[in-house]
Amino acid sequence: MRWLIGGALVTLGVAACSPLRFFDTVMPKDAGSRLVLSGAAYGADPRQKLDLYAPTMPAARPWPVIVFMYGGSWNSGIREGYGFVGRALASRGFMVAIPDYRLVPTVRYPAFLEDNAAAVRWVIAHVGEYHGDPQRLVLAGHSAGAYNAAMLAYDPRWLGGARAAVRAMIGLAGPYDFLPSQLSSVIAAFGNAADPASTQPINHIGPGAPPALLATGDKDDLVAPRNSDTLAARLQAAGSPVERRRYPRVGHLGLITAIAEPFRTRAPVLDDMANFARHYTQ
């Protein structure tokens, strides 16, 4: 697996996100949450499926919705590894959708964005059946998933009119400004793009861009925090609210595992995500 460091990628000997499925299995499950839908198809491909988590507490008003997109350099990942994220956010009063999507090398850019956009449209069309509010939507993600979330939030090509439902974006350790690069993994994902600049989230920020929470760990040596600094600056220049969080002594994977109950004392990632999403979906 290769990860972005500033404008380049480095190779790791072990796929960094694959162990999260085991991690999810052994983590305690948050009370007040439940899996309400497993493997719902939003497309015909076996990878085009999603899971949906919900609070167990009753509510007079439909729940706001978070669509969480996982990372893995666009070439790895599985939704079953992120149930701890779905349950944690559901326990805080959100419906949470976690989609799988097609990966490199089976596909290249923009197919993984098209899949995530299709998943979001499915959520908007069907989440009301489960007491979710399709018009109070937050896009979120970690690492490559944060890239996906940012592109859907800020580039109107992917969601079209459905983008009006997006109230905010949450990016955890996202790569938003990582070109140029000649490394093979970048070429594998983005080498067919006719306009490379158009693949970068920072180039799609304009007036009316949804607010963002951009979080990084100061020990992240996989995706340089400057990616979040640059995106934050672009959003601020466009007049969009930005909350920038920097967690001391937290690395790249530590940022996502801090959402799990046993590790929440390491960084208030879950609290910050929930408070931010709640503020913009009131």
Domain segments of the chain as ranges:
2-280
Range 230-246 average pLDDT: 98
Chain centre to alpha carbon of residue 278: 17
Residues of the chain above pLDDT 70, percent = 93
Mean pLDDT of 218-240: 97
Structure confidence by residue, pLDDT tens digits, 8-37 = 333 333 334 457 888 999 999 999 999 999
pLDDT value for 18:
58
Spatial separation of the C-alpha atoms in residues 184 and 176, rounded to whole Å:
19
Tens digits of residue pLDDT in 254-265: 999 999 999 999
Averaged confidence pLDDT in the chain: 92
Cα torsion through 158, 163, 165, 171, rounded to 10: 70
Give the per-residue pLDDT at 113: 98
According to DSSP, the residues that pair with 54 across neighbouring strands are 34
* Span 73-117, pLDDT tens digits: 999 999 999 999 999 999 999 999 999 999 999 999 999 999 999
Q: Report whether pLDDT(202) > 70.
A: yes
Superfamily covering domain 2-280: Alpha/Beta hydrolase fold, catalytic domain (3.40.50.1820)
Q: Strand, helix or coil at 204? A: helix
Within 9-81, where are the H helices?
A: 20-26
What pTM was computed for the model?
Answer: 0.93
Task: Give the separation between CA 142 and CA 146, rounded to whole angstroms.
Answer: 5
